[in-house]
Amino acid sequence: MKKGLKKIVVLVPMLAIVLISNAQDRLFTYTYQSGVLNKGQREIEVWNTFRAGKADYFSALDNRTEFEIGLGKNLQTAFYLNLSTTTNTGSILGIKSLNTKNEISFSNEWKYKLLDPVANPIGLALYGEYGIGGEEYELEGKIIVDKKIGNFTMAANAIYEIELEPEFKDNEFELEAEEHKADLNISAAYALNPSFDLTFESAFRNVLMDGKLEHSALYAGLGVSYSKNNFLLNFTVMPQLTSFKGATNGSLNLNEFEKTQCRLLFSYAL
């Protein structure tokens, strides 16, 4: 009886750690993994993305504050408050100046896990998100694939996004699909210990307008992931490596895309 009680005393804390780790398994800042929160689990995430470097001066800071909640049966949802400030170069009558623009929007995501990256040959999840802002609306879908083998974790996302802008044509209101984005993210992480991972992320980004590819570029960079108890922190630096369409500065596309992006993400499981 005492031995059985000792086993329970040992197993219960281990089970609690496993449940917490399920809520805290995000290793990447740009690439999603298939894991979802268990029913009733909640998590706060804060994203900060700094983007800089275009043909003329450009600097932007994007902030997303996210509240996630597990709904059970491999389903979770999340709500975002998005804030963004952008400063770039403007020109009036040939005289350049700096213009700053601030935006606020709301987003809601839904994520459904189909396969588990440990129990199944691969992890697989479907992701959908809509965004509502004052100047545009967004629809985004992802197919998420990942796998964990020993100390290595690999993940890939196929992403398609539509940006809709409200406008009047012939005195009639409509939502115009100005841009379509088709991206592919591929990432890998190596666990140095249970709390610390080194990460590599890449993003192949494409912008289509009127059914034609207008811009295409490849980003890649290194990062770190740290987790302790209920707290997680991820940081990644991703420079643009090369452009395949729309180059404006040597081999880089600094018209549509930025030269460098940095993202800091931290979260806390409630």
What is the rounded CA–CA span in Å between residue 139 and residue 61?
Answer: 22
Alpha-carbon distances of 71 from 3, 111, 153, rounded to whole Å: 36, 10, 25
Tens digits of per-residue pLDDT, 183-212?
Answer: 999 999 999 999 999 999 999 999 999 889
- Closest among 207, 245, 233, 237 to 220, alpha carbons compared: 237
pLDDT attached to residue 172: 73
The confidence score (pLDDT) of residue 9 equals 38
- The CATH number of 2-269 is 2.40.160.40
End-to-end CA distance of the chain: 35
Asked if the model's pLDDT at residue 17 lies above 60, the reply is no
C-alpha span between 194 and 269 (Å, rounded): 17
Model confidence at 11: pLDDT above 60:
no
Which pLDDT tens digit goes with each residue over 114-132? 999 999 999 999 999 999 9
pTM: 0.87
Calculate Rg over the CA atoms of the chain.
Answer: 21
Greater model confidence, 96 or 108: 108
Which of 91-95, 140-144, 230-234 has the lowest average pLDDT?
91-95
Q: Which of 27, 21, 47 lies closest to 188, judged by CA?
A: 27
Mean pLDDT score of the chain? 89
Instruction: Find which of 52-61, 97-106, 200-209 is predicted with most confidence, using mean pLDDT.
Output: 200-209
- What's the pLDDT at 15? 38
pLDDT over threshold 90, residue 169:
no
Which pLDDT band, with edges at 50, 70 and 90, does 263 fall under? very high
In the prediction, which pLDDT does 250 show? 80
Q: Has residue 44 got a pLDDT over 60?
A: yes
Can you give the pLDDT at residue 247? Answer: 81
Instruction: Specify the pLDDT at position 258.
Output: 95
State the pLDDT confidence band at 89, using cuts at 50, 70 and 90: confident
| Mean pLDDT along residues 166-176 | 75
